[in-house]
Amino acid sequence: MKKAFLGLLALAAFTFTSCSSDDDGGNVVDNDVVAPATYTFSRNGATTVDYNGQTTRIQMGEELITALKNNTATEAQLDGMFAHVEGNNDFSNADLNASGKSIRSKTAASSDYFSANSTDANAIKADFDSWIASQVSEVFPAWTNNATAGNAGQLQEAGGGSTRYISAKGLEYNQAVNKGLIGALMADQMLNNYLSTSVLDAATNRADNDAGTVADGKNYTTMEHKWDEAFGYLYGTDNATAPTLNEDSFLNKYLARVEGDTDFAGIASDVYEAFKLGRAAIVAKNYTVRDQQADIIREKISTVIAVRAVYYLQQGKNNLASDKASAFHDLSEGFGFIYSLQFTRKPGTNAPYFTKAQVDGFISQLMTGNGFWDVTPATLDEISDTISAEFSFTTAQAGS
């Protein structure tokens, strides 16, 4: 469902008024930051907005998750899409093949969470490597077999619906990769890297931004560009000046899904407004307003991940007895969103809403024994309620 929710935003700019100290005399002066009607910023008549690297990685991710459903693909081919090396012929898009960027290099790679935590970063990358490898070694060989508890294969949804290709525990590895990247790549880079003061204010970034000193050969300051890169992980394949959402298979799609739930209507506008105002604050050299908007984005994007985790657990629970193929598909999506919870960020802190250890505990509960074949409604409710309790929504609101 595509929602053109931002049309009304062009009617007025949003103004944030604050007080700040004048650098020359220390006097307190009014300092208004006015966000433009759309995410449009320029210098000397030319745009200063650039997030092409994020668009590239989203496009790489799209090809990877499509290829994970092609049972003729080899592990080497899938690994090449995940850990692309410049010049290798890994993608159907020649521009992606020519790129020196990769998905794996930015997975669990944020400054705040992983620059000093290579142990967890490596373990998370290894999870994705394992899901890709298991899709090839476990699911592809059983592609035409009927899946049963403890045996990989296919299950068709009731009433002639979609056929799902699952592991011995009922998990769709392609969904684990897809939804896992929403946290490990998109959210982690956005919330814990590019919106972080450790990145925005690194080295001489603040002094350069204050002086209007642009990056070498560019029309933007480094700080402006870092903020834009965060923006790109959400809107990289969308229209920055008139986002419609549902334009990729990652954060953009699921912000649209949450926006479409009446319990959460307005969240998409909240995120877009915060991105605009934060970028305008950088131009105005008001870093207090900038950081306040970063915290709004952290809260809202974290909420999107949590809402969808609970939604899929509840949908899976509802179908568990009557349609295992449909239930396992929902639970696989829930698995990926639960995995992504460790990359969320509590506003005003350097911590996720759920730690890696807590997430690993949820995953263990889901995968114990024969996994989804054995999981109970009580377990799904318990995990759902635990997640909801950390946020300002109920399981009933998220689950419907």
2, 244 Cβ separation under 8 angstroms: yes
The pTM is what? Answer: 0.93
Q: For residue 109, what pLDDT is reported?
A: 98
DSSP string computed for 156-189 = EPTTT--EEEE-TTS--HHHHHHHHHIIIIIIHH
Encoded tokens for 195:
């919106």
Q: For residue 7, what pLDDT is reported?
A: 40
16, 281 Cβ separation under 8 angstroms: yes
Distances (CA, A) of 63 to 68, 148, 204, 326: 9, 29, 37, 24
DSSP state of 215: P
345, 191 Cβ separation under 8 angstroms: yes
Q: For residue 32, what pLDDT is reported?
A: 85
- Please name which of 164, 172, 151 lies closest in space to residue 325, comparing C-alpha atoms: 164
273, 209 Cβ separation under 8 angstroms: no
Encoded tokens for 34:
């006015």
pLDDT along the chain (400 residues), means of 10: 40 40 32 92 98 98 98 98 98 98 98 98 98 98 98 97 97 98 98 98 98 98 98 98 98 98 98 98 98 98 98 98 98 99 98 98 98 98 98 97
User: Cβ neighbours of residue 380 under 8 Å, at least 6 residues apart?
Assistant: 313, 314, 316, 317, 320, 331
41, 23 Cβ separation under 8 angstroms: no
Count of residues making up the chain: 400
SS3 270: helix
Strand-pairing partners, residue 166, are 153
Q: For residue 17, what pLDDT is reported?
A: 42
Q: For residue 31, what pLDDT is reported?
A: 58
Task: Please report, in angstroms and rounded to a whole number, the separation of the first and last CA atoms in the chain.
Answer: 16
